Amino acid sequence: SVKVAASMRNAANGIRRIEADHVLSNTPEEIKDADRRLDEANALLEKRVEAYKEFISEPEERAAFTEFNKSKAAYMAQQGKVIVESSKGEAGFEAAKAIFRGASRETFNAMVGDIAKIVEINDEFSKKSSANGDATYSSARITVLLLISTALAMAVVLVIVILRNVTGLLGGEPA
């Protein structure tokens, strides 16, 4: 789940780069290409968000994911405003730039910050799981060693009992 959350961050960063390309586009062809790439990048982020949902298991993680969805929605709303202005070409450049550098940047940073919290939570859970696995392994190892030691001790006792019994039947120790 850490890898999936990290892939969400990578997808978000890709979206932001394409958004900047959109703002800097000068021709209708460049704008159309940026629109297409932005749609693809947004779809990729959604795909990764859907993949991550399968891994949510703890309440703390669910709460962080809920916050992420809120900040993502706020960012997407700002992105829509940037795209509307940017699609106007030179006429909307200054407004698109202002939104991109202002509210869009703030909401993007909040969204990426929420992804970072998700990664951090998953990293903590991974460390706890690893520690639990190590403790279980250690406990199982001790149990197996105790069982082997007990079986060995019982075998030694059984050999002694059998030897005494056989020597008693034969009439004593051989000379």
pLDDT at 79: 96
How far is 42 from 71, CA to CA, in rounded Å? 15
Instruction: Grade residue 82 by pLDDT with cuts at 50, 70 and 90.
Output: very high
How far is 86 from 30, CA to CA, in rounded Å? 11
Q: pLDDT tens for residues 20-75?
A: 999 998 889 999 999 999 999 999 999 999 999 988 888 998 999 999 999 999 99
Instruction: Give the residue among 110, 59, 103, 111 at the shortest CA–CA distance from 82.
Output: 103
Query: Averaged over 123-145, what is the pLDDT?
Result: 83
108, with CB counted inside 10 A (0-12, 13-18, 19+), is buried
Instruction: Give the residue among 20, 27, 156 at the shortest CA–CA distance from 79.
Output: 20
Report the predicted TM-score, pTM, of the whole model to 2 decimal places: 0.71
User: Three-state secondary structure along 88-123?
Assistant: CHHHHHHHHHHHHHCHHHHHHHHHHHHHHHHHHHHH
Instruction: Grade residue 115 by pLDDT with cuts at 50, 70 and 90.
Output: very high
Query: Averaged over 84-88, what is the pLDDT?
Result: 92
Listed in sequence order, the residues at least 6 apart from 60 whose beta carbon sits closer than 8 Å to its beta carbon are 121
Query: Averaged over 82-91, what is the pLDDT?
Result: 91
pLDDT at 71: 97
pLDDT at 89: 85
- Alpha carbon distance, N-terminus to C-terminus of the chain: 74
pLDDT at 94: 93
How far is 140 from 163, CA to CA, in rounded Å? 34
Q: pLDDT tens for residues 163-172?
A: 888 887 877 6
Instruction: Grade residue 175 by pLDDT with cuts at 50, 70 and 90.
Output: low
How much is the mean pLDDT over the chain? 90
